[in-house]
Structure 1
Amino acid sequence: MLNTKGKILSAACDIYLEQGSKGMSMRKVASKAGVTPTAIYRHYESKEALHHQVLIDGFRTFGSYLYPAIAGTTPLDKLNQAADAFFRFATEQARYYELLFLTMDSTNEIQVDKTLQKEAMATYEFIINSVRSCMDAGIFKKDNPEEVAMLLLSTCNGFFGLYVSKKFEGSIEEMKQKYDRTYQRILRGLAA
C-alpha cells in the first residue's frame, strides 16, 4: 500500500503520461490520488517541483536496475547485465520507461534543470564507460565510446518504442528472445 507521497507521485506520473506537463494540475493529481490539493503542498511546493520529483524518481528507479551490472565479472558481462536490466526496467517499470524515454515533455525539462540533467547523465555515463571498458579490453573494435553507447541505447529504446506503440505483440518471454537476438546482432558488429 502506497503512502500519501507515493500515491501523489503515482497519480502525477499517470497524468503526466496521459496529458503531458501542461495538462497536469495539482487538482487533477489530488483527485486521482484521492487526497486534497492541500495535502500535495505538504510534500511539494509547486507543480514544477512535483514534475521534477516524478522524473528524478524515474531516473533513480532506472539506476536501481542498471547499477547492479557493476558486479559483472568482465566488461562484456557488465554490459550484458546492463542490457538485461534495461529490458527489466522497460517491462517492469513501463510508466517510468515511457516517461523517461518516450515523452518529449520530460526531454524539455531535463534540458533546463541541472538536477535532472545530473540524474539523466549518470545512467548514460554508465553505459558509455561500459562500452569504453569493452573497447579497452579488446572485446569491441576501437571506436567512439559515446557514439557506440548511443547506438546501443537507441537500439534498445527503439525496440521498446515499437513494443509500447503495439507494432508487435507477444509474451514477455517472446519479446525477451527478440530483444536478446537484436542485441546480439549489434554486439557481433562491434566485436574486435
Structure 2
Amino acid sequence: MQQLNVKNEEYKGRLLNCIKERAVSIGEVKLSSGKTSDLYVDAKMVTLDPEGAFLTAMVLIDILRNEDVDAVGGMTMGADPIVGALAAISYVENVPIKTFIIRKKPKKHGKQKWIEGPLLNASKIAVIDDVTTTGKSLLQSIEIIKEAVDCDIVKVISLVDRSEGAKEILKNEGCELISIFDRRDILGD
C-alpha cells in the first residue's frame, strides 16, 4: 500500500481519533448483517461532521491521487457523506474526482435509475463504504454498477473494516479491500 505524505499522515491520525471519540460504541449490538458484535462503529457521526468529512476526503484523495480512477461511489447511506465531501474537497485540492451514489432500490419514476451521478461506460471505478463487516454491501454495489455500465472496478475502499470477513469475501470475488482503518486500529488490539 502506498505511503501517505506527512500532512496526510497527520490527517489520518486525526481521523482515527475522531472515529474513536465520536463513532465507536463497545457492547453487544446487532448489525445490519444480522450478526452480533461487541464493536459498533457509527461512521456517519464522523463523515457528517465538518472536520470528519474534511479529514475523510483528504485521506481518500491521498490514496486516489495517483490512481487512474474516473469516479468514486457506493451504496447509500454509508457512502453519501463520503462522496459528497470527496467531490468538493478534491475540486479544491485541484484533483477533481467525480462521485456517484447507489440507491437501495431503483427510482419508481423518471428513468428508474439505481445510480445517481456521472457514471459512464468504460469508467474506472472505486467503490467505497463507511464500515464493512461481511462485505455484502460492497459486493451488492459492485454488482449494481456492473449491471448499469461497462466499467472496471479498480479499487474497493472501506473507511473502517470491522475485520469480520469482508476482506476474504471480496478477495474471493477478485477485489482487494483497502481498509483505511480496521478493528485493531479502533480498539488498539
Q: Same fold (TM over 0.5)?
A: no
TM-score, normalised with respect to structure 1: 0.31
Comparing both structures, which one devotes a greater share of its residues to strand? 2
Comparing both structures, which one devotes a greater share of its residues to helix? 1
TM-score, normalised with respect to structure 2: 0.31
